[in-house]
Amino acid sequence: MTELLTAAQMRAIETAAIESGEVTGLELMERAGAGVVEAIFEEWPELAGADAAGGEGGIARPAEKGGVALHPALPDSPQDICEQKKFRAVVLCGPGNNGGDGFVVARLLRQRGWEVEVFLYGDAVKMPPDAKANYERWLENAGVHRWDDNFIEDTLDECDHDLVVDAVFGTGLTRLMPDDTERTWHGFVPRVFSWHQKDRPKYVAVDIPSGICSDSGRNLEGAFPTDLTVSFHRAKIGHYLLAKGPPDGGTLWCGKVVVKDIGLKDACIADAVRLFDPTISTLTKFSDTHKYSHGHALILAGGPGRTGAARMAARGALRVGAGLVTLAVPPAAQKEVAAQVTAIMLRQVGDATALAKVLEDARFNAIGLGPALGLDEDAAALVATALEAGRATVLDADALTLLAKDAALFAKLHDKCVLTPHAGEFKRLFPDIAAKLEAVPTKGPAYSKVDATREAAKRAGCLVLFKGPDTVIAAPDGRCSINSAQYERAAPWLATAGSGDVLTGFIAGLLARGIAPQQAAETAAWLHVECALDFGPGLIAEDLPEQLPNVLRRLLSRP
């Protein structure tokens, strides 16, 4: 799993490296700038010109004399560039180290023969030392425009630019975007989003689009949208959070995120949020074959005409590898269900007493309940009985609504439970927490979906999986991961009716296999997206379990 960092964690790693004497801040800034230039040319080789497009003429000199060459080195002067189109860039620099990175990018582009115009937001006198050093180095050969949004807009309108680099604010954004940069933003949005306009410049953000809070992905009013975001060492949490959708959300503004190594060592950060990717230890559990060692999941179905959701969950549980799956069905719905399932077993469960009787059998080691269960007293009694049994239990849909309505029921949650709310259900369950998340942010770091999910998990005393394209999974002790269905894993067709029911089944199935709640929820959510990606558009929920064998085959053949 990849760590996603907060601004404070990134600063701590940087400070430790500098204080240990391994590297200077100036060297890190040089590597960051060189990383951005490298990423630009990797993304758009046509901008690299003839000699840097990766052919034999590729350059092998260090990016900065005396520095550590982590990125392909660049020619020292325009004379080193063979005959090529004169590329043009506008670099927007801010008052901090993000701006410092911008000055490095400007210099390195200029060294490649680019025509570069730089605008500086803020007071150069107050810049931090490394940024100021790069500002002064830039001034040795070129000038800097004072920030003026009209001038920036005119410059972009009049000239045939190839690239616009946003190095205004990075991880140090602590307040709402200032009015004058916000005005510039108004000029940017239509430009960046005119995708049809073939010859428009490429927009690149250094570290994070200015205006986006790197801890939360929230838009501090005035984010600069970009095509490519180049971050350093590790991606930041804000790159992966959508918050509450446009105009919020790092993922909306980042375009594509590339992370460049700047030579910092891995540090053990106890409470880091992780981007989920399944580990081999989880996957090896799929190769053990004895059905009785794989547990027995019990999925509770609703009444007649409402059993489809539970049937899909049961199918998901079976496909994901529960040894046995039983549907607990009200007597009136038994015929309906019996006509539609084969590998899944049935038990008549008319009420909570009947459920308690079934659960006397300790072999039922996992329960899935909620999809189309109903919202009446009988359904609430079923939820109570299921929780009192103390089994690994995933609660979704109607079960969440029932929990939200009844504090005594909510109090029965225990550490083997998994709650899987979508935004609406989350709001019903945790209205005060949702209100904090929905409040318009006024400063950075802003309250995030990660903060909200962690707080909810702590309150519930169990795992919470807060759904979305940026699914956040948090445990009561603060361990937290994001399962992203964005960027190269974007699968918007996964938002189809019944998709959540299948996820409930996947989690229940993994719980039945004895996998701990956090790992079960993370793995299930990840597999859910993989199934959708494998199937592609046109997906309906029934396809998800059927896609799982392909996904598992591919995963298990991974080296």
β-strands 417-419, 115-120 pairing: unpaired
The smaller minimum CB distance to ligand NAX, of residues 114 and 169, is found at: 169
Binding site for AMP, by residue number, is 467-471, 500
Residue 178 binds which entry of K ion, ligand NAX, none, CB below 5-8 Å type-dependent:
ligand NAX
Give residue number: closest CB to K ion: 210
The smaller minimum CB distance to ligand NAX, of residues 172 and 278, is found at: 172
Binding site for K(+), by residue number, is 98, 166, 210
**What count of other Cβ atoms lies within 10 Å of the Cβ of residue 13?**
18
The smaller minimum CB distance to ligand NAX, of residues 128 and 350, is found at: 128
The smaller minimum CB distance to ligand NAX, of residues 11 and 414, is found at: 11
Binding site for (6S)-NADPHX, by residue number, is 97-101, 207, 309, 422, 501
Paired strand residues for 5: 236
The smaller minimum CB distance to ligand NAX, of residues 231 and 326, is found at: 231
| Smallest separation (angstroms) from K ion to the CB of 88 | 20
| Smallest separation (angstroms) from ligand NAX to the CB of 265 | 12
Residue 166 binds which entry of ligand NAX, K ion, none, CB below 5-8 Å type-dependent:
K ion
Query: Could you tell me the sign of the dihedral formed by the alpha carbons of 333, 338, 342, 348, in that order?
Result: positive
Can you spell out the DSSP letters for 275-326? E----HHHHHTTT---GGGG-EEEEE--STT--HHHHHHHHHHHHTT-SEEE
Residue 172 binds which entry of K ion, ligand NAX, none, CB below 5-8 Å type-dependent:
ligand NAX
The smaller minimum CB distance to K ion, of residues 170 and 316, is found at: 170
* Residues 482 and 5 sit within 8 Å (Cβ to Cβ): no
Burial of 534 (0-12, 13-18, 19+ CB in 10 A): middle
**What count of other Cβ atoms lies within 10 Å of the Cβ of residue 111?**
19
C-alpha closest to that of 471 among 499, 440, 450:
450
d(CA 527, CA 555): 10
In the 3-class helix/strand/coil scheme, how is 326-391 assigned residue by residue? EEEECHHHHHHHHCCCCCCEEEECCCHHHHHHHCCCCCEEEEEECCCCCCCHHHHHHHHHHHHCCC
Burial 455-464 (b: 16+ CB within 10 A, else e): bbbebbebbb
* Residues 314 and 298 sit within 8 Å (Cβ to Cβ): no
Residue 211 binds which entry of K ion, ligand NAX, none, CB below 5-8 Å type-dependent:
none
Q: Residue numbers of the site for K ion (CB under 5 A)?
A: 166, 170, 205-206, 210
| Smallest separation (angstroms) from ligand NAX to the CB of 18 | 9
Q: In Å, what is the CA distance from 32 to each residue of 8, 261, 459, 509?
A: 18, 8, 40, 44
Amino acid code (one letter) for 161: H
| Smallest separation (angstroms) from K ion to the CB of 97 | 11
Q: Residue numbers of the site for ligand NAX (CB under 6 A)?
A: 10-11, 14, 28-29, 32, 94-101, 128, 169-178, 206-207, 232, 262
The smaller minimum CB distance to K ion, of residues 210 and 216, is found at: 210
| Smallest separation (angstroms) from ligand NAX to the CB of 22 | 12
Q: In Å, what is the CA distance from 142 to each residue of 116, 135, 137, 165, 288?
A: 9, 10, 9, 17, 66
Paired strand residues for 297: 325, 366
Residue 210 binds which entry of K ion, ligand NAX, none, CB below 5-8 Å type-dependent:
K ion
| Smallest separation (angstroms) from ligand NAX to the CB of 10 | 5
Residue 10 binds which entry of ligand NAX, K ion, none, CB below 5-8 Å type-dependent:
ligand NAX
Residue 205 binds which entry of K ion, ligand NAX, none, CB below 5-8 Å type-dependent:
K ion
| Smallest separation (angstroms) from ligand NAX to the CB of 95 | 4
Residue 14 binds which entry of K ion, ligand NAX, none, CB below 5-8 Å type-dependent:
ligand NAX
C-alpha closest to that of 510 among 349, 383, 323:
323
**What count of other Cβ atoms lies within 10 Å of the Cβ of residue 286?**
18
The smaller minimum CB distance to ligand NAX, of residues 130 and 543, is found at: 130
